[in-house]
Amino acid sequence: MSKLTNFLRRKGRPFFFWPVIGSAVLLMVVLLWPDDLSTTRQDTSTTRKAAEADLIDTVTRIRDGDTIVVGSTPIRIANLDCAERGSTAGDRATRKITSLVSGVRLRCFLEGRRSYDREIGVCSLPDGRDIGEILIAGGYCQQWPG
């Protein structure tokens, strides 16, 4: 028999190891704990603001009535909820947004949130009109609460 087996058999229980494990955990917590928690909170708010951004580029693809691709960035229009492509209302909304933005250079404010593979943002035409407001006013889509 090995020395460890004999030791454990003699002691009856492996309680000898609990203080060693507890000391190791305590040491890790002390070493990894941030020095200043207020700095950590401030850094996360700065990171969130950095995620918000303006994107100015040309529309390269229209997925459906409320999702477009500007440059190489897919964008879910933030204030817009359209029927799905393939339905009568969805195809109507897709045709309208295609006529508005296909090949046009847009300015999109990205909010720093995501929906699936898409950034969420508000996009406007070169003359300043909001795409979502145009489609809602025309009856093509509904207001999206998200």
Same domain, 87 and 26: no
For 126-138, the pLDDT digits (tens) are 999 999 999 999 9
Gyration radius of the chain's alpha carbons = 28
Q: Are residues 61 and 114 in the same domain?
A: yes
**101, 40 contact by CB (below 8 A):** no
CATH number, position 91: 2.40.50.90
Residues 52-61: pLDDT tens digits? Answer: 788 999 999 9
Mean pLDDT on 6-24: 64
Domain assignment of residue 28, yes or no: yes
CA-to-CA distance for 72 and 56, rounded, in angstroms? 11
* 23, 59: one domain: no
Least confident range from 47-56, 73-82, 94-103, 124-133: namely: 47-56
The model's pTM is: 0.62
> Is 24 part of a structural domain of the chain?
yes
Other residues' Cβ atoms within 10 Å of the Cβ of residue 66 = 29
